[in-house]
Amino acid sequence: MKAPHLAGCPEYLELSRRQFLGVTGGLTALATAAPAWLPRVAFARHDCTGRDTIVSIFLRGASDGLTVCVPHAEDAYYTARPTLAIPRPDSGDPDQAIDLDGFFGLPPAMAPLVEAYDAGHLAIVHACGSHHPTRSHFDAQRFMEVGIPGELSTATGWLGRHLLTSAPTDPEALVRAIGIGYALARTLAGGPATLPVPDPTDFGLTGPAGTEADRLQALADLYAQAQEPLKSAAGNTMSTIALLEAIDFAGYQPAGGAVYPQSDLGRALRSTAALIKAEVGVEAVAIDVGGWDTHDQQGPIDGTLAGLMADLAAGLSAFHADVFADTTNLTLVAMSEFGRRLGENGSLGTDHGHGNAMLVMGDSIQGGQVLADWPGLQAEELFEERDLAVTIDYRDVLAEIVELRLMNPDLAGVFPGHTPIFHGITRPCPS
């Protein structure tokens, strides 16, 4: 099924909705155990004005949720990971976990996030993920980004479909969403006025300066007659060149004393912050962070995983200090395709697992909590006797954000075949 490459024409919205709803036949068995008639947990309908901008971060390679959010109250965790476990918060070990709520804690590498957690802006959802059993990175990433477990034919992403089924926040917006990278993250696939941008600070035409405008026009003319998807890609590119040239990235001063790390993630978040504050109508940004597939020498205290977590925490805390100081209409999520094995392997690493920890940050997020329907880590409580189970479908978390913070009630369009349960990740708005 071809992904619809649209410019937002109304007639195509109907067509695309039929297309991706059509694939749900046979997939209803994938829906969560909750029966279809069960109403969503009722929260007061939000009376919030303004829709959030959303930043979706994908940690590629299967992040180790049991390190990102340490279940320090579980003895089984320490039994299964004699080398890799983060010491208990009360152990006196210099590398001990930072307690969050008496059961879970943060590893030392993620200490910079304590501030956002204590401010009530950061929540962690644990034992979270997809119920699909695959341990293939590539399939699991695809299913998670498409938002339909097991679905191989649909090419649109959940966030792309959200954009398709909602009107732009700014009718004049030239660009509604960007994915920072060389190829558009599947999360955003199908989104109108959406394109990949490897580096927002450097997005213009090269060549002789005197003929730049003429050559750009020549390209616009050539591509106006091209077949899709090249035609739309070129159109989006033209819009984005104009848009980004008008933003002073070089002169951007982060607020709140925020210092972004000198990493790809740090630069991506800094550019995202500048883009959001410029208020040019960009509603969604997708960012990828690779390297999380720690099969070997995982190093949760001072190795590979520690470095990844430190970078993530530094980036997110800088973003928090920078953007949340000025902006309240913003939600950020960080997810990964699945978690990692409870037991450590022979290479001082972990193999592919199942349940994971998801990070959610926002002014109207019910932060300061680790939200979990914790299944436990005894052998009979594990998924396939190996892995942390999934008790909260990640689509529940995203659906709650889509409806209550992105103001899109069309959850059947964004997550076809799924009846979400809201777990209270968002704060009720003042009425």
Partner 1 sequence: MGTRATRPHRRQHLQPHSASRADSRQLTRRDLLFGRRQAAVGRACRPLPPAPRDPTPGTHQAAARRITDYTVAERNLVQRVTMGLTVEELERVRQLGIEGYVEYHLDYESIDDSELEAMLAGYTTLSMEVHELLDQPPGGPLAELVFATILRAVYSRRQLFERAVTFWNDHFSIYIQKGATDVLKTVDDREVIRAHALGTFPDLLSASAHSPAMLYYLDNHTSVAGQPNENYARELLELHTLGADNGYSQTDVEEAARCFTGWTLHGYEAGADVGKFTFAPELHDDDFKRVLGEYIPPGGGIQDGEILLELLSAHENTAFRIACKLCHWFWGYHPPRGLVREVTDAYLTTGGDMRAMLRAVFTERWMQRARPKHKRPYHLIVSALRALGGSVTNPYGLVIPLQSTGQIPFFWVPPDGYPDELDFWSGLPLPRWNFGASLLNNELPGVSVDLEVFLAGVQTAEGVIDRIDQRLFGGALPEVDRAGLLAYLEAGVLSWERAAETVGLAVAAPSYQWY
Amino acid code (one letter) for 53: T
Nearer to partner 1, 27 or 73 (CB): 27
Interface with partner 1, residue 137, by CB under 8 A: yes
Pick from 102, 229, 409, 424 the residue near partner 1 by CB under 8 A: 229
Minimal distance, residue 6 CB to partner 1, in Å: 14
Interface with partner 1, residue 222, by CB under 8 A: yes
Pick from 6, 30, 100, 123 the residue near partner 1 by CB under 8 A: 30
Minimal distance, residue 66 CB to partner 1, in Å: 17
Pick from 74, 145, 283, 293 the residue near partner 1 by CB under 8 A: 293
Pick from 11, 47, 221, 380 the residue near partner 1 by CB under 8 A: 221
Bond before 229 cis per omega within 30 degrees: yes
Angle at 182 between CA 216 and CA 57, to 5 degrees: 125
How much is the CA Rg of the chain, to the nearest whole Å?
22
Options 72-80, 190-198, 318-326, 369-377: segment touching partner 1 (CB under 8 A): 190-198
> Would you state the structure tokens that stand for residue 269, as one six-digit string?
């978040």
Sign of CA dihedral 33, 35, 41, 45: positive
Pick from 11, 39, 206, 250 the residue near partner 1 by CB under 8 A: 206
Interface with partner 1, residue 347, by CB under 8 A: yes
Pick from 87, 112, 150, 362 the residue near partner 1 by CB under 8 A: 150
> Would you state the structure tokens that stand for residue 275, as one six-digit string?
């883009």
> Would you state the structure tokens that stand for residue 242, as one six-digit string?
């104009």
Options 93-101, 117-125, 228-236, 360-368: segment touching partner 1 (CB under 8 A): 228-236
Q: Which residues of 44-70 are buried (b: 16+ CB within 10 A; e: fewer)?
A: eebebeebbbbbbbbbbbbbbbbbbbb
Size, binding site for partner 1 by CB under 8 A: 67
Neighbouring C-beta atoms of residue 76, cutoff 10 Å: 15
Nearer to partner 1, 61 or 416 (CB): 61
d(CA 97, CA 90): 8
d(CA 168, CA 8): 9
Interface with partner 1, residue 366, by CB under 8 A: no
Helical packing angle, 212-224 and 230-245, nearest 10°: 150
d(CA 61, CA 227): 35
Interface with partner 1, residue 203, by CB under 8 A: yes
β-pairing, 177-180 vs 194-197, is: parallel
By CB under 8 A, name the binding residues for partner 1: 1-3, 26-27, 29-30, 60-61, 132-139, 149-150, 152-153, 155, 181-184, 189, 195-196, 198, 203, 205-208, 211, 214-215, 218-219, 221-223, 225-227, 229-231, 233-234, 236-237, 241, 290-291, 293, 295-296, 344-347, 349, 351-352, 384
